[in-house]
Amino acid sequence: MSDRKNDSTNDLSTHSLSNLDLETPEKPYLDSNELIINMGPQHPATHGVLRVILKLDGEKVLGTECVIGYLHRGVEKIGENRTYAMFNPYVDRMDYCAAVSNGLGYCEAVEKLMNVEAPPRAQYIRVILTELNRIASHQLWLGTHALDIGAMTPLFYTFRDREEILKIFERYCGARLTTHAFRIGGCQYETYAGFEKDVKNFLTFFAPKIDEYEALLTTNRIWLERTKNVGVISGPDCIALGVTGPVLRASGVKWDVRKAQPYANYSKFDFEIPVGTNGDTYDRYLVRMQEMRQSMRIVEQAVNGIPEGPIMGKVPKVIKPPVGEIYHSIEAPKGELGYFIVSDGSTQPYRLRVRPPSFVNLQALDLMVRGALVADVVAVIGTFDIVLGEVDR
């Protein structure tokens, strides 16, 4: 450990050997200097191009600063220059792990602004696809988060099973990731023959797989050591920092937009909001595992109750919402995803603001890693489940 001392003079070019004060008895044994290091933007554990400037004292984190914007594409500006329907595919490119959720939020916001509603069958299809997407997003999170911490196996398991969801997406709309599954006023496509069977098959296939993931991690001693009491955040702190989604629920705040202000037809389904108690990385893991189970419950109810009928509501060919503004938000896999749209009565939004959950959640990183070790920063970035496409837009 005594070589740690040399850190204080690590810029050797400015020191000739004779300048080095080799006798420093008054200094404490474990003295070290503050060190600023860059993590990212090209770093596998930052899940994209996130740059975190870490201020360290040895292994201890004294402070962080996030540098974001590397993936900024000006989505909001693009929205102002496209018609409402033309902008729809762009939202898939924000949180590309949960493109269906993004599309649902956008379509519902515009529908609300136009005062139209999607027909019941479309609502059911929307809920099924959105919840399947939530499972897929959580699977991707679990695989990569565990990989960051050093458990490689879950990645293969989750990607193997996520494939089954992507196959359903692909058969439904031709795309696996950027689905563009919904249209303003309903759904893009009628379901294919065998859609319901595929979804039911997936449910029976997937139920034991969650147990498999849990068998790998939930009582795994290394996993517990790496996640328990790491990145702790309290419920009031979450609220003050605007943190939503599983992170908020793991801190004991039982709040989910699907329950608090139901949208689509979520009020018809019976499901629970899993909550944690400690607000640490382990609780966030447990909450997301439970959320996958709850999503399966919703999908099961939806696929059994899917009614016949049209999939598109009465929407004019040219979408021209009346003058006015609307804020509509949904519970995306990462938290509250909101759209604030101002219409001037033309075919293009006058202003389109996206309230991305990842962007706001990421702000809590500093609070959560202060005083922790460098290795925990990796765990905490993973536990947020951020997608940089959404942070930067």
Partner 1 sequence: MAEDVKTPAPPPPPEGEKKPTAEKPVAAAPATPAAPAKPAVPAAKPAAPAKPAGPVPMPWTSPMVEKYRSQYGSGLDPLTYLGQNYLAVDRSLIPDILRLLRDEEQFDYCVDITAVHYPKREKPFDVVWILYSFPRNERVRVKTQIADGASLPSSVPIWPTANWLEREVYDMFGIRFDGHPDLKRILLPDGWKGYPLRKDYGILQQDQEWVQINLGIESGQ
Contact positions vs partner 1 (CB under 8 A): 68-69, 72, 74, 76-78, 80-81, 112-113, 115, 239-243, 253, 255, 260-261, 322-327, 329, 336, 338, 340, 342, 344-346, 348, 350-351, 353, 355, 359-360, 363, 392-393
CB of 243 to partner 1, least distance (A): 8
Smallest separation, CB 330 to partner 1 (Å) = 13
Query: Closest separation between CB of residue 239 and partner 1, Å?
Result: 5
Q: Min. distance of Cβ 122 from partner 1 in angstroms? A: 20
Q: Which is nearer to partner 1, 168 or 364 (CB)?
A: 364
Q: Name which of 342 and 375 has its Cβ closer to partner 1.
A: 342
Cβ 102 to partner 1 shortest distance, Å: 16
Among residues 256, 252, 250, 253, the alpha carbon closest in space to that of 227 is found at: 250
Cβ nearer to partner 1, comparing 274 with 338: 338
Q: Do 226 and 318 form a contact (C-beta atoms < 8 A)?
A: no
Instruction: Return the number of the residue (252 or 310) whose C-beta is nearest partner 1.
Output: 252
The structure tokens listed for 144 are 């990569």
6 versus 363: smaller Cβ distance to partner 1? 363
Shortest CB 228 distance to partner 1, Å: 26
Nearer to partner 1, 5 or 320 (CB): 320
Map tokens 């249209």 to a residue. 183
Shortest Cβ 96–partner 1 spacing (Å): 18
Q: Which contacts qualify for 166-172: CB closer than 8 Å, 24 or more apart?
A: 166/136, 167/198, 168/132, 168/195, 168/198, 168/199, 168/202, 169/100, 169/129, 169/132, 169/133, 171/195, 171/198, 172/129
Contact between residue 181 and residue 166 where contact means Cβ atoms under 8 Å apart? no
Q: Minimum CB separation from partner 1 for residue 32, in Å? A: 27
Burial class (CB in 10 A: 0-12, 13-18, 19+), 172: buried
Min CB(254)–partner 1 separation in Å = 10
Q: Tell the smallest beta-carbon distance from residue 81 to partner 1 (Å).
A: 5
Which is closer to partner 1, CB of 153 or CB of 348?
348
Between 273 and 375, CB nearer to partner 1 = 273
Q: How far is CA 100 from CA 92, 96, 178, in A?
A: 7, 9, 8
Nearer to partner 1, 294 or 343 (CB): 343
Nearer to partner 1, 78 or 177 (CB): 78
